[in-house]
Amino acid sequence: MADQNLDAVLDALIQALVHRDLAGTLACLSSRQEPAVLGSEAGELALGRNGVERFFRRIYATPQPFRFDFPRRSWSVHGDVAWLTADGSVVEPAATDRKPYRLTAVFIVEDGAWKLSLWSGSEPASPASRRDSVVPQEEPASVGCEANSIRFGPS
């Protein structure tokens, strides 16, 4: 297992993003597994190392960097795999306002170092902007992996 602190690994990746450091960004990615980046905007999907590199080349061509801040982080580790759920904010290029941003990420150990395998970002919708909702049909009798009936749409 890697000796690195996972928060430090994520922070190094975020610094590479802020500085638009393509070599530094790519150094944070898995080279054995096919990394994937799913951004929060439509069309922000990059699969495989070459696809992710093209994605960041395009992002880094913007006049200002993205700035992420994730003060709330929850890590889970099982052997050589770690996954993260994080809640924070992003400041997009040419913007001054912070927007809520959530991150789900998977890191794997390669040659003794944690490397990013999956970045999946999302911007939570405000309750007022939601057109539909998920409504449980009934309260579950017990907690477990059983399927519960849910209804999609307005209540």
93 domain-assigned:
yes
Single pTM value for the model: 0.77
97 domain-assigned:
yes
3-state secondary structure of 12: helix
71 domain-assigned:
yes
Render pLDDT for 98-150 as a digit per residue (tens, 0 to 9): 899 999 999 999 999 999 999 999 988 776 655 555 555 555 555 555 544 44
Domain with 15 in it? 6-123
Asked if 102 and 87 count as a contact pair (C-beta separation under 8 A), the reply is yes
146 domain-assigned:
no
* Domains contained in the chain, number: 1
Asked if 133 and 154 count as a contact pair (C-beta separation under 8 A), the reply is yes
78 domain-assigned:
yes
27 domain-assigned:
yes
Q: Which stretches of 22-132 are DSSP H helices? A: 22-27, 48-60
Q: How large is the average pLDDT for residues 78-84? A: 97
Position with higher pLDDT, 140 vs 96: 96
Asked if 10 and 28 count as a contact pair (C-beta separation under 8 A), the reply is no
89 domain-assigned:
yes
69 domain-assigned:
yes
Q: Residue 28: which CATH number?
A: 3.10.450.50
